[in-house]
Amino acid sequence: MTSAIPADRAENKLLGLEVLRFITAFAILVWHYQHFAYVGNAAVGLVRTHQPFYGVLRPFFEYGLNGVQVFWCISGFIFFHKYRDSLAERRVSGRTFFVLRFSRLYPLHLVTLLIVAGLQGLYARQHGFSFVYENNDLKHFILQLFMASYWGLQQGLSFNGPIWSISTEILVYFVFHACLRLFGRSNLVTLTMIGLFLLARMSGRDNALVNGLGFFYAGGLAAIFQARFTDHKAWFRMRLAVLICLLAGISAAAGLHGLWETEKVNLTLFWLTPLVLILVSGDLPALRPFAPIIEGFGNLTYASYLLHFPLQLSAVLIFAALKVSVPFYSDGLFLGYLAAVLALSWLVFRVFERPVQNAIRKAQLG
């Protein structure tokens, strides 16, 4: 796909996306902090407003789960930007595409799956039931091995539960690849996927794959729209217009419908996120001096997503072994949890995730 911004800006064009990606990952970490209040698959005595730093982080504590939809939208933007032309024109083979995806996603998934399986066994021996995600039987383990844990064959979330969104996104990759092979760069396909999502929401149906496709292709539509502006003046005018639309939309949603009403968050994010992506995907000069730091934090997002639940489960097991109650409302526990997840994610990315990814790609693609 033709670059959406002038060539001399190309090297900086994704820094804003990396910032947004990390903020989204952080929101999910904050949302899942509530797991420390769980015994089995239910929170015990959880007072959400008493969680550490609730006044500052309220949107994350209340709606961090919706970060999954934002991730899907970011993925759509990036995949349209990187692969739409090359897959449609067969410059990148299907094998290459899926090897790239497999090497990025599967190794850490497999390791965390095995770790969680072992830790859940220890938790079950202590308590007689599983922690948070309870469908930890052979059937769900096999589904997890094939990253098919949320393809409609499951009875619920299992083992390292957050992987459900990645499982859904893998199905989206298959649809994305197949549509490009069959229909080329058809904008009608993009609009159809978005239309199916809107019809599903209007009819009150909630389907993970339809949601994934809707947000993914909404991000793709943002990439298509952005690609039409290739000179500096047009790019500036387009971003200004998008900013005005974004502010007007937020004002309308907040004033007329209540931006943070739970039932409206999904649709609010559906129109808001693509606009934000357009705004932050161009060159942001203020971010240039911090490029290495931003890229470093961006590299932590996948590891933090898969590692935070095993770390929580480990901590809960340690507290139980010491016969100490989990200090759920402690600022120290909250900050320690975040620091531990980020530090472990950095270490895992450097010593496992990146080396294994590179080794697989070298072996399979040369």
The CA-CA-CA angle for residues 132, 136, 140, to 5°, reads: 125
State which H helix or E strand residue 39 sits in.
strand 38-39
Q: For 227, phi and psi rounded to 5 degrees? A: -65, -15
Query: How many Å apart are CA 80 and CA 82, to the nearest integer?
Result: 6
CA 319 to chain centre: 29
Q: At what angle do helices 208-226 and 187-202 cross, to 10 degrees?
A: 140
Q: Does position 3 have pLDDT exceeding 50, yes or no? A: no
Which residue reads 């060159």 in tokens? 283
Per-residue pLDDT band at 224 (split at 50, 70, 90): confident
**Alpha helix stretches (DSSP H) within 227-300:** 232-252, 262-280, 291-298
Q: What pLDDT is attached to residue 10?
A: 39
Asked whether the beta carbons of 313 and 288 are under 8 A apart, the reply is no
Q: What is the pLDDT of residue 84?
A: 92
| Alpha carbon of residue 216 to chain centroid | 11
312: phi then psi, degrees, rounded to nearest 5: -60, -45
pLDDT at 52: 96
Give the 3-state secondary structure of residue 38.
strand
- Please compute, for residue 294, the number of CA atoms within 13 A of its CA located in the half-sphere on the CB side: 17
Out of 68-72, 258-262, 297-301, 325-329, pick the least confident: 258-262
Chain-centre distance of CA 132, in angstroms? Answer: 20
Alpha-carbon distance of 283 to 272, in angstroms, equals 20
Which pLDDT does position 195 carry in this prediction? 87
Q: Which residue has the tokens 């980020």?
A: 342
Q: What is the mean pLDDT of the chain?
A: 87
Greatest mean pLDDT among 60-69, 122-131, 307-316 lies in: 307-316
Of 21, 182, 213, 17, whose CA–CA distance to 88 is shortest?
182
- Where residue 199 falls among pLDDT bands split at 50, 70, 90? confident
Query: pLDDT (tens digit, 9 = 90+) per residue, 308-362?
Result: 999 999 999 999 999 999 999 999 999 999 999 999 999 999 999 999 999 999 9
State residue 229's pLDDT score. 65
Calculate mean pLDDT across residues 11-18: 72
Question: Which of 101-105, 252-256, 264-268 has the least mean pLDDT?
Answer: 252-256
Q: In the predicted model, what is the mean pLDDT of residues 235-249?
A: 59
Grade residue 259 by pLDDT with cuts at 50, 70 and 90. very low
**What is the pLDDT, as a whole number, of residue 349?**
96
Least confident of 158-172, 183-197, 211-225, 233-247: 233-247
Residues 6+ apart with CB under 8 A from 247: none
Q: What is the mean pLDDT of residues 283-300?
A: 86
Residues near 97 by beta carbon (within 8 Å), at least 6 away in sequence = 83, 87, 173, 177
Confidence of residue 205 (pLDDT cuts 50, 70, 90): confident
Is the pLDDT assigned to residue 108 strictly greater than 60? yes
In the chain, which residue ranges form alpha helices assigned H by DSSP? 15-31, 54-63, 67-88, 94-127, 138-145, 164-183, 187-202, 208-226, 232-252, 262-280, 291-298, 301-321, 331-348, 354-365
Residue 283 has pLDDT above 90, yes or no: no
Distance CA 154, CA 296 (A): 35
Query: pLDDT at residue 248 above 80?
Result: no
Identify the CA nearest to 90 among candidates 177, 215, 193: 177
pLDDT of residue 288: 85
Contacts 24+ apart (CB under 8 A), 119-122: 119/310, 119/313, 119/314, 119/317, 120/159, 120/313, 122/317
Percent of the chain at pLDDT exceeding 70: 87
Helix axes 262-280, 187-202, angle to 10 degrees: 160
Does residue 258 surpass a pLDDT of 60? Answer: no
**pLDDT reported for residue 168:** 96
